[in-house]
Structure 1
Amino acid sequence: MPQTIELDPAATPQDIENRSFAIIDAEIPEPRPFQDGLWQVARRCVHTLGDTEILADLRLSGKGLAAGVEALRHGCTVFTDTRMAAAGLPLRRMTPLGVTVTPLMALPGLEDTARKLGVTRSRAGVAAVADRLAGQIMVIGNAPTALLALLEALERGAPAPALIVGMPVGFVNAAQSKELLHQSPWPHFTLLGRKGGSAVAAACVNALAELALARRE
């Protein structure tokens, strides 16, 4: 006989999200590793990956939270290393804030530039925007080469973004690039180790956008 499986009654997107957050809150009781706005960011990351264990490796700072919310409230540009991360930032949150989302992969001539320089498109994309990052948000969820290129540019004196969301995923230099970011002086959110991805990087910005929208009301 097949086992009876009880389904949760939540059915609409908002009901499912609210129910998911309630389950996460119940599974991670107080005292939580993050509080207030930082918990909203952390909880959305957990929700996106379906994994409460990432909390031990999440590195979120109050400085990064404040800088990110303020940048969004002032209609910044959010640069992303992939189109997937850009797709994870819905217009319903970005448009009311006047925020522009620009994936590096959409920059004109990027493939030719990367080929000429013998580097990845992500690294070439970071180089192309490095001089206009002041006050903006950089989201890297896929390419360690992009995060390494950003850190190198900042070390050379490029203007720093308001916030770096650095969560590349994978086995080659993902963990190393995120450790370097965490050791850096620039406001950032990161997820140490191999886990990460465009979806969880975008989740951080979505949580910040919700906080920014709430402060406008």
Structure 2
Amino acid sequence: MPLKNTGTEQLIKDTAKRILFAEGKLHATTQDIAEAAGVNRAALHYYFRTRDQLVACVFNESMLELSVRLGTVMASVRPFQEKIEELIAVFMKEMRAYPYQEIFLVTEINTAGVELVKDIDNMPVANFLNEIENEMSAGVIEKMNPKHFLMNLFSLLSYPFIMAPLYRQFFNLNHQDFDQLVAERKQLIYRMVFK
């Protein structure tokens, strides 16, 4: 008899997302996730036959949610500078909540290949690149290949999170001090983009 859906599947996914992306336990086992979710491993395996299935599900849902939020900002009819400010805010909020998501992304792509991020194709990047190019032509931002502009923007946003443990040690910062430093980056990045 199948298990009755009492929210267990969502609980398992939420727990896996927290453990993998928020806590950075990238090699957590199904037993680790089941224990943290307060379910037995048999229940976890009922919904997700393997760890790989669970990881793929959690990763794809997470990337789709982020892609939708970023895509919504890119496709909005707001002025360009407001879009950039909102992109920074959305990305920073995501990275603060899930600081290990980028590390997980790189690790999984190196393991499973780029087909893992197939849903990223749904983002309206081509139109946004045209908009970036128009802003460059108008002299609002420095001229470069628009792809470099986006890569630079996302690098400025994600790299501090990827390197957070090293930076905390290097600068002798506790988690709270590092969070404050990261919070200051929103305006810093915005000012760097629009000199």
Tell me whether the two structures share a fold, i.e. TM-score over 0.5: no
Q: Give the structure-2-normalised TM-score.
A: 0.26
Q: Give the structure-1-normalised TM-score.
A: 0.24
Greater RCO structure (CA 8 Å; 6+ sep): 1
> Would you tell me which structure has more strand in proportion to its own residues?
1
> Would you tell me which structure has more helix in proportion to its own residues?
2
